[in-house]
């Protein structure tokens, strides 16, 4: 089994990390008293019900109920695995993640696959320096050495076994190569997935290689200078057998690390080149991206040969507010643009904008920026069509708006699409524009439950719930409670959880409220603890301490009362023993007397 990350390290990490900083890099937050708020990034809403609570180091949405620590946020928002989220935060805090009790990592460990893919990238880069034809291709495309290094470009030799021989042919190594999508099985056995191709490493948000794109080498300089008609994502499979060279562009197959429908080529490079991304430009090909970067337009990314998906749209808007889609102006390009519209609409919360730039016939971003430079390309971007204009122009292209039938047709086409837009000003304006064009008013009801909710107050809550809530919010209180606990025998809901929480907090003195909730995330009590962690209590820390220990004293008194009632019932039916009679005589004076000291001092 893989090594386990110690709980103590998780507690220390969460104590060091500023959750506001982590979330604010992805979601715009606004100060609200001692907390921060935003419209929830996990469901569509108009009024903010998403709270980030820095002193407790967790977030909570009163609309959809999501809740968690900085680790949980990265897992949900950036779709990271738990170890990757911990590694990401540890790097931010300057810590090294310790692993215990795992021994040697198994072959399936993602760390081994990442390492292998990095080694493969370096191998392809070395091979590029040895192959004149591959270097000539990039030179013909106008790329300089800095750009080639920036994108880690390389070359896969025209052999069936070059990569295997370089990286190892043991059974374990071959299994890893196949898992990474670098070799495949066929009639000739296992052989290289990429052969005689210039190579484009595909990286994740942390800059780690997760896959490759490969373009078959052109047979002549003239062919290399031609527009690639790029769609870099032709997949392997039966196509690879159609001709000796296979498809022009070939991507790695889907693996545990690589899912082309949710990855963007060069997003990592764009984030590295820009302290803050004001925009992203979505183009169709690897070389389009790379040419734009070389000319100073460092916000370009590409989908990996698929139409723009909703996952792409979410990823784009997580990184910036303005997205420009750049397509050919022909029928195919406009069809691709419309698919982008359908993916983007459900993500168009207020403050986000999408634009569409359609290129002249025979041109692509690579050729345009080569001819017109950065200034010319920027001027074209400035004239890009806003989503709203393209939306109505596309839907109304074959509609006669001078007739009632035409207006009805436009309204009917627009209705199901407009209902997908999140509640907000943009949706209101789109509905108003439809009313202007079609002379029809569409009403879209806002789902119940989007109204912001406030944290529950402690009024009318049971003593046990109050004690649990205060302990979750102030784990340090447990250090003052020495076992055994008199109230542990009280027959009341939640007592077992309270005892368990005290033990947890005493065993892990550095544990935070966020880490407690994380600890119970997969258990039945998890949802209840999320709500209790947000319960409001008047006063500051001293008031919370007083109320917590007063609740424990009251629980002790209830326990004494319970025992007295049990013994009196035994006395009434004649089953009480002599020792129990003595116990009853001792307990009766305590039944209503206040406990003079906090539970920790008894």
Q: What is the mean pLDDT of residues 176-192?
A: 85
Q: How far apart are CA 179 and CA 174, in angstroms?
A: 9
197 with 215: CB under 8 angstroms? yes
Q: Mean pLDDT: which of 75-89, 235-249, 359-373, 507-521 is highest?
A: 359-373
Question: Is the per-residue pLDDT at 431 higher than 90?
Answer: yes
Distances (CA, A) of 204 to 262, 268, 456: 10, 7, 40
Residue 104 pLDDT: 39
pTM of the model as a whole: 0.64
Give the DSSP per-residue string, 13-45: HHHHS-HHHHHHTTS--EEETTEEEE--TTS--
Of the candidates 141, 57, 207, the residue with the CA atom closest to the CA atom of residue 512: 57
Question: Is the per-residue pLDDT at 455 higher than 60?
Answer: no
Question: Is the per-residue pLDDT at 222 higher than 80?
Answer: no
Residue 24 pLDDT: 86
Question: Is the per-residue pLDDT at 492 higher than 60?
Answer: yes
In tens, the pLDDT along 2-51 reads 568 888 899 889 888 899 989 988 888 888 888 999 888 887 677 788 99
Q: CA dihedral defined by 473, 479, 485, 490, rounded to 10 degrees?
A: 0
Burial code (b: 16+ CB inside 10 Å, e: under 16) for 359-377 equals beeeebbbbbbeeeeeeeb
In this structure, of 101-115, 260-274, 430-444, 569-583, the range with the lowest mean pLDDT score is 101-115
The rounded mean pLDDT for the chain is: 85
* Model confidence band, residue 85 (pLDDT cutoffs 50, 70, 90): confident
285 with 302: CB under 8 angstroms? yes
Question: Is the per-residue pLDDT at 96 higher than 90?
Answer: no
Q: Going by DSSP bridges, is the β-strand pair 300-303/279-283 parallel, antiparallel, or unpaired? A: parallel
343 with 309: CB under 8 angstroms? yes
Question: Is the per-residue pLDDT at 324 higher than 60?
Answer: yes
SS3 annotation, 491-528: CCCCHHHHHHHHHHHHHCCCCCHHHHHHHCCCCCCHHH
Q: Which long-range contacts (CB under 8 A, 24 or more apart) does 529-533 make?
A: 529/468, 529/472, 530/60, 530/65, 530/67, 531/456, 532/465, 532/468, 532/469, 532/472, 533/56, 533/58, 533/60, 533/67, 533/469, 533/472, 533/473
Q: H-helix or E-strand containing 396?
A: none
Q: How far apart are CA 363 and CA 346, in angstroms?
A: 31
* Model confidence band, residue 112 (pLDDT cutoffs 50, 70, 90): confident
Residue 193 pLDDT: 92
Residue 223 pLDDT: 45
Q: How many CA atoms lie within 13 Å of 592's alpha carbon, on the beta-carbon side?
A: 0
Q: How far apart are CA 333 and CA 172, in angstroms?
A: 45
Q: What is the mean pLDDT of residues 468-486?
A: 91
Residue 275 pLDDT: 83
In tens, the pLDDT along 392-418 reads 999 999 989 889 999 999 999 999 999
Q: What angle do CA 390, 395, 397 make, to 5 degrees?
A: 90
Q: How far apart are CA 528 and CA 547, in angstroms?
A: 20
Residue 109 pLDDT: 53
Residue 456 pLDDT: 55
Using left for φ > 0, alpha for ψ between -120 and 50, and beta otherwise, residue 494 falls in left
Q: How far apart are CA 182 and CA 416, in angstroms?
A: 43
Residue 229 pLDDT: 40
Q: What is the mean pLDDT of residues 374-403?
A: 95
In tens, the pLDDT along 272-293 reads 999 888 999 999 999 999 999 9
Residue 282's SS3 state is strand
140 with 225: CB under 8 angstroms? yes
Residue 243 pLDDT: 44
* Model confidence band, residue 65 (pLDDT cutoffs 50, 70, 90): confident
In tens, the pLDDT along 293-316 reads 999 999 999 998 888 988 899 889
Helix axes 387-395, 331-344, angle to 10 degrees: 120
Percent of the chain with pLDDT over 70: 87
Q: For residue 191, give both structure tokens.
A: 């052989």
Domains of the chain: 7-93 (3.90.580.10), 110-256 (3.90.980.10), 262-391 (3.40.1360.10), 463-601 (1.10.860.10)
* Model confidence band, residue 593 (pLDDT cutoffs 50, 70, 90): low
């Amino acid at each position: 089994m893989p090594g386990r990350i110690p709980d103590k390290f998780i507690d220390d990490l969460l104590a060091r990390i500023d959750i506001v900083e982590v979330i604010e890099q992805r979601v715009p937050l606004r100060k609200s008293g001692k907390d921060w708020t935003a419209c929830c990034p996990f469901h569509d809403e108009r009024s903010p019900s998403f709270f980030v609570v820095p002193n407790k180091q967790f977030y909570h949405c009163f609309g959809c109920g999501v809740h968690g620590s900085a680790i949980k946020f990265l897992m949900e928002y950036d779709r990271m695995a738990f170890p990757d989220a911990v590694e990401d935060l540890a790097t931010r805090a300057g810590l090294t993640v310790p692993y215990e009790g795992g021994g040697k990592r198994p072959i399936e460990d993602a760390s081994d696959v990442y390492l292998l893919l990095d080694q493969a990238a370096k191998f392809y880069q070395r091979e590029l320096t040895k192959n004149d034809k591959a270097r000539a291709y990039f030179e013909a495309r106008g790329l300089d050495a800095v750009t080639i290094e920036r994108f880690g470009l390389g070359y896969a030799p025209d052999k069936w076994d070059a990569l295997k021989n370089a990286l190892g042919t043991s059974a374990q190594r071959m299994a890893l190569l196949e898992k990474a999508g670098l070799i495949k099985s066929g009639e000739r056995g296992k052989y290289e997935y990429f052969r005689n191709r210039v190579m484009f490493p595909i990286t994740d948000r942390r800059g780690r290689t997760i896959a490759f794109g490969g373009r078959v080498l052109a047979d002549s300089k003239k062919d290399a200078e031609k527009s690639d008609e790029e769609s870099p994502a032709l997949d392997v499979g039966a196509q690879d057998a159609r001709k000796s060279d296979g498809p022009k562009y070939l991507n790695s197959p889907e693996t545990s690390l690589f899912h082309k429908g949710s990855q963007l080529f060069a997003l990592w490079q764009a984030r590295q080149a820009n302290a803050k991304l004001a925009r992203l430009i979505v183009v169709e090909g690897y070389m389009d991206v790379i040419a734009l970067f070389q000319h100073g337009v460092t916000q370009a990314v590409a989908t990996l040969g698929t139409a723009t998906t909703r996952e792409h749209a979410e990823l784009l808007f997580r990184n910036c507010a303005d997205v420009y889609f750049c397509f050919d102006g022909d029928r195919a390009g406009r069809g691709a643009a419309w698919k982008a519209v359908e993916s983007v609409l459900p993500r168009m919360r207020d403050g986000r904008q999408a634009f569409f730039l359609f290129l002249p016939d025979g041109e692509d971003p690579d050729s345009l920026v080569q001819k017109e430079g950065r200034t010319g390309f920027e001027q074209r971007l400035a004239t890009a069509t806003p989503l709203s204009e393209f939306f109505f122009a596309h839907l109304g292209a074959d509609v006669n708006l001078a007739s009632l039938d035409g207006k009805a047709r436009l309204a009917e086409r627009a209705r199901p699409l407009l209902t997908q837009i999140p509640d907000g000003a943009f949706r209101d304006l789109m509905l108003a524009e439809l009313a202007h064009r079609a002379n029809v008013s569409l009403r879209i009801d806002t789902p119940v439950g989007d109204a912001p909710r406030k944290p529950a107050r402690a009024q009318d809550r049971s003593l046990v719930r109050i004690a649990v809530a205060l302990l979750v919010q102030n784990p340090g209180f447990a250090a003052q409670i020495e076992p055994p606990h008199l109230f542990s025998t009280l027959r009341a809901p939640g007592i077992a959880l309270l005892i368990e929480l005290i033990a947890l907090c005493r065993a892990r003195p550095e544990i935070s409220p966020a880490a407690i909730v994380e600890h119970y995330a997969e258990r039945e009590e998890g949802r209840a603890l999320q709500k209790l962690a947000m319960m409001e209590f008047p006063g500051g820390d001293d008031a919370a301490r007083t109320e917590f220990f007063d609740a424990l004293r009251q629980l002790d008194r209830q326990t004494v009362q319970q025992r007295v009632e049990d013994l009196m019932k035994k006395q009434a039916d004649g089953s009480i023993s002599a020792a129990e009679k003595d116990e009853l005589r001792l307990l009766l004076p305590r039944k209503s007397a206040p406990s003079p000291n906090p539970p920790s001092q008894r």
